[in-house]
Chain A
Amino acid sequence: MSIALSAPDIKRALTRISHEILERNQGSSSIVLLGIPTRGAHLAARIATIITEIEGVAVPCGTLDITLFRDDLRLRAPKAIMPTTIPPSGIEDKDVILVDDVLFSGRTIRAALDALGEIGRPRTVQLAALVDRGHRELPIKADFVGKNLPTSKSQSVRVLLSEIDGRDEVGIEGEVL
């Protein structure tokens, strides 16, 4: 496995994304962070912490599980459903920032948009991803990217986070075919 991002790289990327989110939305007053479980949820919590440090106010942060909205449920073994927690202030007329670890085909984000549509009508929906590895199958793009990682489809990107895996690291596995 070759290492694409080290722990300090990840920290710097998340700090930059936090600043970009604040800049784009002119502060934190209208934003709601929603992480896609499992690792996206931890990344969203980290971004929320950084934004709080910068702005001095807490931002609403929750999780959005998209399993029930996937378009490939017939083809895959049943996946455990993870918790969805929407902050009490809701998403109505807010700027929702979806947070995921890896942006790949774009199908997860499509499902997330469907899931959001069932919950309410945000003013805008934006997307932050720690890694964009390309190979989109849908017209979806990220607004905030930690790092663009050109990969081959035969490779896989592994994101490790200290909350789950004990350390922070992004690596690429497999050969370019």
Chain B
Amino acid sequence: MPAELGLAALVLAFAVAIYAAVASLIGVRRKNSALIASARNAALLTFPLLLMSAATLLYGLINQYYQIAYVWQVSNPGTPLFYRITALWGSQQGSLLFWCLLMSLFAFVALLLNWRSYPRLMPYVITYTMVTLAFFIGLSLFLENPFARYWIVPDVSAPNGLVVSNVFIPANAVAPDPTRLAATARGLNPLLRHFGMIIHPPMLYLGFVGFVIPFAFAMAALASGDLTTNWIKATRRWTLIAWLFLSLGLLLGGRWAYDVLGWGGYWGWDPVENAAFIPWLVGTAFLHSVMIQEKRGMLKVWNMVLVIFTFSAVIFGTFATRSGLIDSVHSFAQSGIGAPMFIFWAAVTLVSVILILYRRSRGELKSEHAFAGFLSRESLFVLNNVVFVALALVIFWGSFGAPIASELFLSTDITLGPDYFYTVTVPLFIAMYILMGVAPLSAWGAMSARALGRALIVPLGLTLIGLIFLILSGVSGIGALLGYGIVLMAGFVAIYEISRGVNSRHRATGENYLRAVASIFSRNRRRYGGFIVHLGITVIGLGVIGSTLFQQETQQTLALHEVLRLGSYEMRFDGIDIGQVAEDDRVMDIANVMVIRDGHELASLRPRFDMFPASEGQAAMVMHIPGAYSTLENDFYVLLVGVQPDGRVTFKVYVNPLINLVWWGGIILIIGTLISSWPSQKESTAERVKLRRGKSAAAGAVV
């Protein structure tokens, strides 16, 4: 029953999304406001329908309806309730449905919030969001249906009948025995049983689908001819929210890799990681360049290109992950959705580019100002955009371009390893940090080198002090110090700009410093939230430099109470518990080790070796779960590698300096983004006024 109900809701959502897309387009062309209103209602309806569809699949997962193939593949009777729920996005079909649900949620909220404020854009927004949604629902419905069920059909080759998975009941088919289904069900991939992996995919999906809204507004602006900054104002917050989720998704993915994959690192330049990083880079470029259009009326074509490029990267990233195009630990199974996704991606990009060219040829996307000088803020922002886009392109080339081009044109397959990414991205990241330090100090319009130099004195001085502190604490090497210096300066500029704001507020109003901080943040959340984001990126940069350049590792086999030394740490092996059986039947070998520094016992760690036993139709699986002693200074990270026949135990140990700054920087970045996207007092009043005006305008337009 849940399968039929979920399927019916999915079919309805598909039909309703197509109706909304077509009706709103016809409505706007024929100026038929009743049809537009109907399209809007239909578009709103997609969310409850998809919610119902996803809820029925969830019901099936929780209540163990193993005849539903998806439920059989991602859970079994031993799966705890929590993982039953998260299994909703644990594999291809469920995650595609979940993706559609999130996209419809974004469209739902955007339609409710923006309907009255931007009446000219909204019909086209419906069309673009619903076309995209209908496409993904179509994939779910026709190619990766989560409600397909197992049936046994008579077959001459199989005496017990042939097991097929089908949405509808095949002729002469019978349902398999429920007990047999439960006994053979597979269970969730052990690699995915981790908190980071539970919320990493939804965060990434929210980030990905979030960019549909800015894209739809940009396309609506091009289609409607409303090429003012309306589309940018409408999507500013959406872009920030999508960017926030994408950042969170990337960070959680890194954390999962660090905690579960057991190689001491968090970023491996894997094609699928890169596929999620590319939209983040282009989205970041877009977040900066829209400011130039708002302030100076420039870069109108460029902003359109960026938003399309971001959405295009999202679709390509999804295609790359789900089509089986690339080999990766992250990839879903080889699937039939590759070709349609590629066609959709190409069509979306083509239509968007044609629309831009059309509006440009009519002179509707002309800049209102020219660039006044190399050091003006707009010039530096453009340079920043160039760096972000260059990063996106070289990463794309390394992950997808070169392998595909070599196969097509050179009759040989070439892949590019981590060496390529280090060579290419490090100089570009250095340029990014330099610009992050310089651009906030320059002014809109024009800026002389002397004035910019003067503004840099204080941050440079602070950076020098920071570097002296680092040298005194033992950091050596020109490369590392240069890296730290550049990153630190970007952070000090952010702090300096915040302190300048606080000081001038304090002088102008006499408010005490604490109050002045609150005032400047509440009055210009976007600017000062942005500086907090810069601070977060600075802290991440420090963590990346420390953990990449100064990582130490060793591997030793220890007898009971024997000690190994690494850096300033010692580790004593205190024993091992072999063959512990967990709730989900995994068999664990757990070592007990003591971390010691300067003679003090700091922490007892329990690195593990988990074995998921083989079951019918499924091979055994082994995981090395590290133990870590974390401080802001470094992580002492221990892997239990193996138990020797003589009872000694082999460990692999890493000291990862400053690695926790990567996660703390991520938290700062998220706080900064939240501050930036929170409506300021001034803005909400203006929005309310606009909303009131919009209401009457909309009433006038519709009636």
A and B form one complex: no
Q: Which residues of A contact B (CB under 8 A)?
A: none
